[in-house]
Amino acid sequence: MNETYLNKIINEDALKVLSMLADNSVDLVLTDPPYFLDKMDDSWDEKKVASTKYHHVIKSLPAGMKFDREQGKNFYKWYYKVANEIIRVLKPGGVFLFILQSKIVSPNGLCN
C-alpha cells in the first residue's frame, strides 16, 4: 500500500486490504464478519438487496433455527483465509479481535 495508515479505521473487503499490507505492520485488527447465513455471496449488501425485486433482511434468528452445515464449512474456509492474513500482518504482540454472533458458536450453529 502506498498510503500510510496511521490510526485509521479501514472499512473494506478484508482479503483485498490485507493482501496489500506488509508483514508485521499492524497493531490491531477488529473484525465483525458477515455470517453468510443465507448463502455465501454478497447478498447481505444493503444496496444490492434494495435493488432486487424480492428481498428480505434477516433482523434476528429464531431460537432453534436449523443451519446448513455447508454454510458453516464455507464460512470457516473463508474466515480461515482472512485470519491467516491477519496473523501475517500483525506485529509481534499485536491484537486480533473478532465478533461472532452467538448462533455461530452454539451447539447447533455454523461452527460445529
Whether residue 5 is contained in a domain is answered as: no
- Residue 99 or 52, more confident: 99
Range of the domain at 69: 14-105
Q: What is the 3-state secondary structure (H, E, C) of 68-94?
A: CHHHHHHHHHHHHHHHHHHHHHEEEEE
**In the predicted model, is pLDDT for residue 84 greater than 80?**
yes
Residue 52 lies in a domain: yes
- Residue 47 domain-assigned (yes or no): yes
Give residue-wise pLDDT tens across range 25-69. Answer: 999 888 877 765 554 455 556 666 566 665 555 566 555 555 567
> Is residue 8 in some structural domain?
no
Counted domains in the chain: 1
Would you say 91 and 21 are in contact if contact means Cβ atoms under 8 Å apart? no
d(CA 26, CA 8): 11
Q: Give the whole-number percent of the chain exceeding pLDDT 90.
A: 17
Q: How far apart are CA 21 and CA 75, in angstroms?
A: 23
In a domain, 111, yes or no: no
The answer to whether position 67 is within a domain reads yes
Distance CA 8, CA 40 (A): 29
Report which of residues 2 and 78 the model is more confident about. Answer: 78
84 assigned to some structural domain: yes
